[in-house]
Chain A
């Protein structure tokens, strides 16, 4: 197990290095130079020269890469050019929106998908199964930002049960914040729940075909008992992997959804960075998101190996 974790750790670090180089190179490839790009066409040469010095662009690429990554390791993400505050502070404030949103959506998706997948698998080939398969087929095809707009139309404009956007902060208590995050979380969760329900269904159907289930049935357990005691636990392994993968989709999806609902999360920070040409913010926040995704992939790999010893050898 220690060897497995060590080998996963090595690939985690390698991934991070390659990812940071890739992001750095993309930003380096900005037409012209970053300082000119950020200040726009009307900037005076003096202003550009001053910003170049401020951003450390007078150093070579290698030195700048090392300063950037070294800074990130110690929690220094650079200083935002537009806000004149450390990027780390901006990120910390936005995380209080983005993380709860992702967690809320992940919880909703699991709460919907597991029972639905269970229902479809245990009623395989019957109307309930067809209904689930049809509904999930549709759920996969719906773009989450469009679904978000429809939710706003119905629940914020027609019925006025949830706000159509914005975020009140957590200072006023849990409920106003949760209320503001409910429609975005539902919009994010629906397509993911569709995928998850399908994975749950096929995993369970496969497990139910195993010999040990037949043995359990032969020993006198009912279908329901054998599902609860034996099949469910084994079927949850693939579901767990998909959940880990979905974290990355939810994070990326949250970027779009935050823009639909004007939520002050990391996604909006990236877009504000892009429109204000604040490359320091864009570069660091993108790297942070990539880090989060790679870290979750690593944790899922380890969790998977904990549950299923056969995978430790891989």
Chain B
């Protein structure tokens, strides 16, 4: 089947940033901690493609290393959400209608009703600002999303004949969930994972912008933006490029999510 255009564009965009993050482990155009007062606040040029900041550090190099932080935080936060949320959703669907199902879903609604950024701010404020605490704070709010998606999709699978056949064959609920339900909702989870990934990048950027995410010397896009704010009137390029990095990564992931959904679920595409 032909790949949707959004998937190709999305993959290309997110691929560029993933590659930049990987390459930054072995090579950056300039050393990231290379402070050089002589070359401070330069506008983009051939030697510094995206210019330099107030300490003379190369913006492109910092964006490349910052991609690592953003991607790592968002990936682990999605992982946390999946590891907690998917089993909860499977459990709720397997025991649908029981008090356990009710408990899981009410708990979900509750976390869902919280203003997540406020709580993330509370968590990082109390336990100290760090990348790990940012991951936890973002990951907790991913959990109900995955639980809900998993339960919804699993419920419809439980009514299908082959699941009934497995029950008749004597398989338990846990085994059916793992062997028959989970593989069939994997597509959906991948699509949701992509969306949560992009939301995670935005959340990480917001947290580190207010100083509650990754701490120096670890470069991060959000903090680059915070640092640039006081200099925006005379060095706008400092604010423009890290912001563009966030926008393009998030845009790429969103397009990828849309494209994957179209590719994996052709019915949805016709309906739209």
Contact = CB atoms under 8 A, between A and B. Distances in A.
Contacts of B127: 29, 31
Instruction: Classify the interface of chain B: helix, strand, loop or mixed.
Output: helix
A289 B243 contact: no
Contacts, number: 110
A65 interface: no
B133 to A, nearest CB: 12
A256 B206 contact: yes
A15 interface: yes
A146 interface: yes
Contacts of B202: 143
Contact of A251 (B118, B128, B210): B118
B122 A143 contact: no
Contact of B118 (A142, A149, A153, A255): A255
A140 B249 CA distance: 12
Given A29-B126, A157-B233, A282-B125, A19 B225 contact: no
Interface residues of A, number: 44
A141 B254 contact: yes
Interface string A9-47: 001001100110001001101110000000000000000
Nearest to B240: A150
Interface in A218-260: 248-249, 251-253, 255-256, 259-260
A167 interface: no
A85 B225 CA distance: 34
A259 B212 CA distance: 13
B113 A274 contact: no
B114 A255 contact: no
A245 B250 CA distance: 21
B134 to A, nearest CB: 14
Nearest to B255: A137
13 contacts: A19-B114, A26-B122, A138-B251, A141-B246, A143-B205, A145-B209, A146-B225, A202-B272, A248-B113, A255-B121, A256-B210, A286-B118, A286-B119
